Amino acid sequence: MVVEDERDIARMVEYNLKKEGYRPVLVHDGFYAALTAAKEKPALILLDLMLPGLDGLEVCRRLKADQKTAHIPIIMLTAKGEESDKVLGLGLGADDYVTKPFSLKELLARVQAVLRRASRAEPAPEKLIAGEIELDAAKVEVKLKGAPLELTSKEFELLKALMAAGDRVLTREELLEKAWEMDSSLELETRTVDVHVGTLRRKLKKEGRRIITVKNYGYRFEAGR
């Protein structure tokens, strides 16, 4: 969710987030930010501090005080020189900040880094179900149409990571870290993820269509199809 009253900036950020495979929701008023967050349940909020209605610090305070939205990571967008606001925002629970005017490349890198930290902090549910796929993390078992499906350990971990991401796009680097438990800068290439995803899709048969390729970025799992 992008909370930004300068519409040109909001549209520019929206366009670039879409290019990276995200599905941004725009809000231009501080009053509606908390309501929209509770309704949309975004994976992350980009929150400008200078907003009409409620300012960004008050929006942050309300979001972190509400059990429905307290877990959502927040990146503040601050004007140059607002050092006290940055400190206060981080103290209220914001996860990071980017100073205006910002580089889109830096902003997208911060988004990816915060989402990655958030995904590590939240344990996946023990049971995940989508269509005819049932995954039991505790039993390390997958069923397709009620019948056990034989997967390798890496295929199982990939499927679990994708299903647990809740429709969020995962980069190949993130999937390497989750399924192989290693830093993607080491020897294993991200191409390895593509090979295993291809095999996993074939084993899932028609349900394999749920694993969506996001060009130049990674993959997401579409549970609602």
List the structure tokens of 80: 């140059």
Environment class of residue 19 by beta-carbon count within 10 Å: exposed (0-12), middle (13-18) or buried (19+)? middle
One domain, residues 170 and 113: no
Do residue 102 and residue 154 come from a single domain?
A: no
Q: For residues 108 and 132, state if they share a domain.
A: no
Measure the N-to-C terminal CA separation of the chain; round to a whole number of Å. 23
**pLDDT for the residue numbered 81:** 63
In this structure, the answer to whether residues 18 and 78 fall within a common structural domain is yes
CA distance 159 to 129: 11
Residue 47: phi and psi, rounded to 5, are -120, 110
* pTM > 0.75: no
- Per-residue confidence (pLDDT) for residue 121, from 0 to 100: 60
Domain co-membership, 103 together with 50:
yes
**Number of domains observed in the structure of the chain:** 2
Q: Please, what is the average pLDDT of the chain? A: 86
Q: How confident is the model at residue 184 (pLDDT cuts 50, 70, 90)?
A: very low
Locate 195 and state its tokens: 């090979």
Q: Looking at residue 203, which CATH number applies to its domain?
A: 1.10.10.10
pLDDT band at 204 (very low <50, low <70, confident <90, very high): very high
Give the C-alpha distances (Å, rounded to integers) separating 211 from 48, 86, 131: 33, 38, 12
What does the alpha-carbon distance between residue 44 and residue 38 come to, in Å, rounded to a whole number?
12
pLDDT the model gives residue 174: 83
DSSP 70: T
* Same domain for 177 and 200: yes
Dump pLDDT digits (tens) for 135-150.
998 888 999 999 999 9
Q: Phi and psi at residue 103, in whole multiples of 5°?
A: -85, 130
d(CA 149, CA 31): 48
Structural domain containing residue 76: 2-121
Identify whether residues 114 and 184 lie together within a single domain.
no
For residue 103, the domain's CATH number is: 3.40.50.2300
Q: Of 67, 97, 121, which marks where a domain is finished?
A: 121
- Distance (Å, whole) CA 61 – CA 91: 10
The set of residues, in sequence order, having a beta carbon less than 8 Å from that of 95 and lying 6+ positions away, is: 73, 74, 75, 114, 117, 118
Q: Which pLDDT score is estimated for 167?
A: 75
Residue 62 burial (CB count, 10 A):
17
Rounded Cα distance between 25 and 37, Å, is 10
CA distances in angstroms from 135 to 58, 120, 224, listed in the order given = 40, 19, 16
